[in-house]
C-alpha cells in the first residue's frame, strides 16, 4: 500500500468509527440504498480511495460495545453541533487495535501485530479532513411526511469544526509496552500488542480554537425554520448498540407526531420492525429532545434500515390537558429538603408517573414564598430550588403539556421545606463518624438512616434513628471508604412525606489507618519453614487495610531489603534467601516486615526466625586401650574433624 493511499484510508477509519457511516455511493434516496457486503466494501476501497473516503463498512473495522451520537440543532436551523462517543471493551478492543494496525500494511511498523503511538497520531492528525467529506447519515425535509424517493436536505460535516480524540488506544504503562522497533519511528514512539484488551474510547466533538466555527455540521436552512411540518431521516443500518439524541431549538408547540422504519426487504426475510419508536422529553428551557435507541445485528449485512420521524407545531385536533394518576402525592404532602440549594425530590421513573398526556407534560408550581422553583433535568428527574431566605413554602402545582394545555381546577398543594440541620465529627480512631441531626419541625417525627459517601464508594449503613423534637446523634461507619474528605448520604421517611434522599458535606475527612499484618506459624509452632538446603525459608500470613487501600510489603534481613512478597487478597507469602547473611558471616535471621498502604501509612513488625537445624553426621568413637582409657583422642583425629567442619562450611558458601 502506498503512502498516497494510506491517508484517505486512515481518515476513513476515524469517520466510520465515530459516525457509523455506511460505505458505497452517496445516498440520494433512503429507499433505494445499495447493499454492501464486507468483501465488496474492501474491493470498493481499491476503486474509489483516490477520489473519496469510502469503501469499508463500519463493522469491517470497528466493533463497539456502545456508541452515543448527539446532535444539537442551532437556532438558525442551518447549523449544528455533533458529538459522538464509542466505547470498546475487552476482546472487541483487541479486534479494533488489530484492524487499525492492518491499515498500515506495507509501511514500516504496519500490520505487525503491534499498535503504536505513531499510528495513533496519524489517525488523529488527518481524520477531520476526511470526515468533512463524509455523509452524516442524517437528512431533513420540510413538508408532508416522506419515506424516501425525494430530494433530501442532507446534513454535511464542517471540516474546520471537527475535533477528534481517543482514550487508551495505546495504554500508558502497559506491561507489554516497548519502544517502537520499526525504522523511522518517532523518538518517543511506543507500541503495545494488538491483542491488548484494555478498554478504549473514541470521540468526535466540536473543535476548540480561535478560528474554529461554532458548528461542525450544516445543511440548507429549512424555509420555515421548523415551524412548518418536517421529517428527520436517519440511516441506522449496522449501527449495533447505539443511542441517537437530537435536541431542537426552543420552538413553541414543537412535537413529534409520526414514526416509521423502512427496510429493503432482503431475501433473508430480516426486517427492521423490532426497532421501537423514540422517546422524547422537554428540557427545562422548553427545547424538545428526542432519543432513539438502536440495537442492530452485525451479522445482517443484507438488511438496510432507514428511520423517519415526523414533527409539527400544529395543535392536535383535540388537545386534552394532562391527567393526574393515582400515584401523584396527595394534597398536603410534605416535600423535604436539607436546606438551601437545589435538590432532587423525585426520580424520572417516579415523577413522570404522576400524570399522563400523549404529548408529555411538565410540573408547574406557584410558591407562596419568593425564590422557590421546580424543574426537570435532561434525564427527567424532578428538582426543587430553595433560597437562603426561606426554610418552608407551600406551592400549588399543575400538570402542563407542551402545547400549554392545563386543567386549572385540578391542582395539588404541597409543602416544601427544610427537614433538618446536621453537624458531624469523626472518632479519633477514624473508624466511625458521628452525625447529629436537629429537626426543623417540618414534620412531627421521621426515621433517618445515614451512610458515608465518597465518589462511588458507600460506607456501611448506620442504625435507623427516630428524630422528633430534639437533636439525635447516630454512628456512621467509615470502614468501607478511603482516607480523605467524605459526605453523608441520608434517607428519611415520615407519614404524609415524600421519601427524602439527599447527600451533603460537612467538610469532614477520614484519617488514614495503617495496615494490619499477621504472621502465621507452621506445624512446629515456628514463624518460618526452612527448605532442605537450609539456605532459604518461607513465611506466610495475613495483611489487610482498614481503609480498603492496596498494600505493598517488604522485609529487611541481615541489613538488606527484600521485595519478593506475593499478595493474594488478604493472604501473603514470601520466600527469603539467606545468601546475604552467609556472605557477611551473620547467623541472626530475624526479619523486619513493613506493610505500606496507598496513603503511605505503614506498619512494621519484627519476626524471630529460628536458625536452621543442621543434622550433624554420627561419629563412632575410637576404641581405647586399657593403658590409655582416660586419655583424649589423638591429635590426628581432632584435626580430621576440624577439616571436615571447614569443608562443610566452605561447600555451603559455594552452594549459596
Least Cα distance to 345 among 267, 415, 439 occurs for 415
Higher-pLDDT residue of 442 and 106 is 442
pLDDT of 150 reads 64
Class of domain 516-607: mainly beta
pLDDT of 133 reads 67
CB–CB of 25/118 below 8 Å?
Answer: no
Range name among 235-244, 516-525, 559-568 with the lowest pLDDT average: 235-244
Mean pLDDT, rounded, for 179-190? 90
CB–CB of 134/198 below 8 Å?
Answer: no
CB–CB of 100/123 below 8 Å?
Answer: yes
Question: Is the pLDDT score of 59 beyond 90?
Answer: no
Q: Classify residue 422 by its DSSP letter.
A: E
Q: CATH 2.60.40.10 in the chain, residues? A: 516-607
CA atoms within 13 A on the CB side of 201: 7
pLDDT of 632 reads 35
Q: What is the distance between the alpha carbons of residues 428 and 379, in angstroms, rounded to a whole number?
A: 41
Q: Length of the chain in residues, anyone? A: 656
CB–CB of 216/162 below 8 Å?
Answer: yes
Question: Is the pLDDT score of 361 beyond 90?
Answer: no
- 290: which strand partners? 246, 280
Least Cα distance to 554 among 539, 534, 569 occurs for 539
Higher-pLDDT residue of 636 and 473 is 473
Question: Is the pLDDT score of 161 beyond 50?
Answer: yes
Predicted confidence band at 297 (pLDDT cuts at 50, 70, 90)? Answer: confident
Question: Is residue 645 classed as helix, strand or coil in its secondary structure?
Answer: helix
Mean pLDDT of the chain: 81
Higher-pLDDT residue of 139 and 301 is 139
Question: Is the pLDDT score of 292 beyond 60?
Answer: yes
Q: What is the distance between the alpha carbons of residues 559 and 148, in angstroms, rounded to a whole number?
A: 82
- 406-419 pLDDT tens trace: 888 999 999 999 99
Mean pLDDT, rounded, for 517-536? 92
Least Cα distance to 526 among 652, 656, 613 occurs for 613
Other beta carbons less than 10 A from residue 11's beta carbon: 24
pLDDT of 61 reads 54
Q: Which contiguous run of DSSP H or E holds residue 476?
A: strand 472-477
Question: Is the pLDDT score of 223 beyond 70?
Answer: yes
Q: What is the distance between the alpha carbons of residues 224 and 142, in angstroms, rounded to a whole number?
A: 8
Question: Is the pLDDT score of 635 beyond 50?
Answer: no
Higher-pLDDT residue of 132 and 340 is 340
Predicted confidence band at 655 (pLDDT cuts at 50, 70, 90)? Answer: very low
Residue listed under C-alpha cell 385540578: 410
Question: Is the pLDDT score of 224 beyond 70?
Answer: yes
Q: What is the distance between the alpha carbons of residues 656 and 648, in angstroms, rounded to a whole number?
A: 12
Q: Classify residue 5 by its DSSP letter.
A: H
Q: What is the distance between the alpha carbons of residues 461 and 477, in angstroms, rounded to a whole number?
A: 7
Mean pLDDT, rounded, for 443-469? 92
Alpha-helical runs (H) found in 560-634: 579-583
Mean pLDDT, rounded, for 441-461? 92
Residue 76's contacts (CB-CB under 8 Å, 6 or more residues apart) are 221, 225
Q: Mean pLDDT highest for which of 100-109, 126-135, 154-163, 321-330?
A: 321-330
> Helix-strand-coil percent breakdown of the chain, rounded to 5?
15, 40, 50
Q: What is the CATH number of domain 420-510?
A: 2.60.40
Question: Is the pLDDT score of 344 beyond 80?
Answer: yes
Mean pLDDT, rounded, for 517-546? 92
Range name among 11-15, 366-370, 466-470 with the lowest pLDDT average: 11-15
Q: Mean pLDDT highest for which of 40-49, 237-246, 639-648?
A: 237-246
Higher-pLDDT residue of 200 and 150 is 200
Predicted confidence band at 318 (pLDDT cuts at 50, 70, 90)? Answer: confident
Mean pLDDT, rounded, for 199-216? 89
Question: Is the pLDDT score of 625 beyond 60?
Answer: no
pLDDT of 617 reads 52
Question: Is the pLDDT score of 642 beyond 50?
Answer: no
pLDDT of 117 reads 92
Q: What is the distance between the alpha carbons of residues 211 and 329, in angstroms, rounded to a whole number?
A: 53
Q: CATH for 323-418, among 2.40.128, 2.60.40, 3.40.50, 1.10.3210?
A: 2.60.40
Mean pLDDT, rounded, for 48-77? 67
Range name among 47-56, 306-315, 539-548 with the lowest pLDDT average: 47-56
- 369-389 pLDDT tens trace: 999 999 887 677 899 999 999
Q: What is the distance between the alpha carbons of residues 85 and 297, in angstroms, rounded to a whole number?
A: 20
Q: Classify residue 25 by its DSSP letter.
A: S
Residue listed under C-alpha cell 498516497: 4
Other beta carbons less than 10 A from residue 240's beta carbon: 20
Q: What is the distance between the alpha carbons of residues 277 and 232, in angstroms, rounded to a whole number?
A: 13
Amino acid at each position: 500500500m502506498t503512502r498516497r493511499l494510506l491517508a484517505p484510508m486512515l481518515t476513513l477509519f476515524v469517520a466510520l468509527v465515530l459516525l457509523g457511516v455506511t460505505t458505497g455511493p452517496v445516498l440520494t434516496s433512503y429507499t433505494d440504498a445499495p447493499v454492501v457486503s464486507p468483501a465488496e466494501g474492501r474491493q470498493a476501497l481499491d476503486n474509489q480511495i483516490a477520489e473519496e473516503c469510502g469503501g469499508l463498512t463500519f463493522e469491517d473495522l470497528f466493533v463497539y460495545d456502545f456508541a452515543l451520537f448527539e446532535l444539537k440543532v442551532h437556532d438558525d436551523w442551518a447549523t449544528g453541533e455533533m458529538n459522538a462517543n464509542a466505547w470498546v471493551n475487552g476482546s472487541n478492543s483487541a479486534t479494533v487495535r488489530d484492524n487499525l494496525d492492518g491499515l498500515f500494511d506495507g509501511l514500516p511498523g504496519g500490520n505487525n501485530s503491534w499498535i503504536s503511538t505513531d499510528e495513533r497520531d496519524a489517525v488523529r492528525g488527518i481524520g477531520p479532513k476526511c470526515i468533512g467529506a463524509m455523509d452524516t447519515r442524517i437528512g431533513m425535509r420540510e413538508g408532508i411526511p416522506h419515506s424516501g424517493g425525494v430530494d433530501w436536505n442532507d446534513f454535511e460535516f464542517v471540516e474546520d469544526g471537527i475535533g477528534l480524540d481517543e482514550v487508551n488506544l495505546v495504554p500508558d504503562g502497559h506491561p507489554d509496552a516497548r519502544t517502537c522497533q520499526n525504522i523511522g519511528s518517532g523518538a518517543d514512539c511506543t507500541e503495545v500488542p494488538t491483542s491488548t484488551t484494555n478498554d478504549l474510547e473514541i470521540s468526535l466533538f466540536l473543535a476548540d480554537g480561535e478560528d474554529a466555527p461554532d458548528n461542525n455540521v450544516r445543511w440548507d436552512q429549512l424555509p420555515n425554520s421548523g415551524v412548518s411540518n418536517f421529517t428527520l431521516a436517519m440511516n441506522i443500518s449496522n449501527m449495533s448498540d447505539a443511542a441517537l439524541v437530537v435536541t431542537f431549538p426552543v420552538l413553541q408547540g414543537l412535537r413529534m407526531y409520526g414514526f416509521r422504519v423502512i427496510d429493503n426487504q432482503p431475501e433473508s426475510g430480516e426486517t427492521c420492525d423490532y426497532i421501537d419508536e423514540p422517546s422524547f422529553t422537554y428540557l427545562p428551557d422548553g427545547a424538545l429532545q428526542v432519543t432513539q435507541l438502536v440495537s442492530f445485528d452485525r451479522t445482517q449485512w443484507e438488511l438496510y434500515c432507514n428511520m423517519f420521524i415526523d414533527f409539527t407545531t400544529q395543535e392536535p385536533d383535540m388537545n386534552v390537558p394532562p391527567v393526574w394518576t393515582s400515584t401523584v402525592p396527595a394534597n398536603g404532602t410534605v416535600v423535604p429538603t436539607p436546606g438551601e440549594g437545589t435538590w432532587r425530590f423525585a426520580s424520572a421513573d417516579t415523577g413522570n408517573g404522576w400524570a399522563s398526556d400523549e404529548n408529555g407534560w411538565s410540573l408547574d408550581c406557584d410558591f407562596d414564598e419568593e425564590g422557590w422553583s421546580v424543574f426537570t433535568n435532561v434525564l427527567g428527574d424532578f428538582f426543587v430550588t430553595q433560597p437562603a431566605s426561606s426554610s418552608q413554602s407551600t406551592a400549588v402545582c399543575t400538570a402542563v403539556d407542551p402545547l400549554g394545555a392545563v386543567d386549572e381546577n385540578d391542582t395539588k398543594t404541597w409543602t416544601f421545606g427544610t427537614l433538618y440541620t446536621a453537624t458531624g465529627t469523626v472518632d479519633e480512631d477514624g473508624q466511625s463518624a458521628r452525625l447529629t441531626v436537629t429537626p426543623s419541625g417540618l414534620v412531627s417525627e421521621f426515621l433517618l438512616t445515614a451512610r458515608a459517601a465518597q465518589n462511588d464508594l458507600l460506607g456501611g449503613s448506620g442504625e435507623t434513628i427516630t428524630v422528633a423534637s430534639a437533636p439525635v446523634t447516630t454512628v456512621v461507619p467509615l470502614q468501607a471508604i478511603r482516607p480523605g474528605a467524605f459526605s453523608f448520604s441520608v434517607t428519611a421517611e415520615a407519614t404524609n412525606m415524600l421519601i427524602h434522599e439527599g447527600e451533603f458535606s460537612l467538610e469532614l475527612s477520614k484519617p488514614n489507618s495503617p495496615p494490619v499484618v499477621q504472621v502465621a506459624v507452621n506445624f512446629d509452632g515456628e514463624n518460618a519453614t526452612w527448605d532442605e538446603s537450609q539456605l532459604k525459608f518461607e513465611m506466610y500470613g495475613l495483611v489487610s487495610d482498614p481503609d480498603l487501600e492496596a498494600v505493598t510489603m517488604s522485609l529487611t534481613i541481615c541489613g538488606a531489603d527484600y521485595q519478593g512478597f506475593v499478595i493474594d487478597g488478604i493472604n501473603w507469602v514470601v520466600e527469603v534467601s539467606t545468601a546475604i547473611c552467609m556472605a557477611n558471616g551473620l547467623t541472626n535471621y530475624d526479619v523486619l516486615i513493613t506493610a505500606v498502604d496507598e496513603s503511605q501509612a505503614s506498619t512494621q513488625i519484627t519476626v524471630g526466625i529460628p536458625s536452621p537445624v543442621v543434622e550433624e553426621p554420627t561419629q563412632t568413637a575410637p576404641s581405647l586401650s586399657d593403658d590409655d582409657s582416660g586419655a583424649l583422642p589423638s591429635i590426628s583425629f581432632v584435626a580430621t574433624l576440624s577439616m571436615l567442619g571447614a569443608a562443610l562450611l566452605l561447600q555451603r558458601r559455594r552452594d549459596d
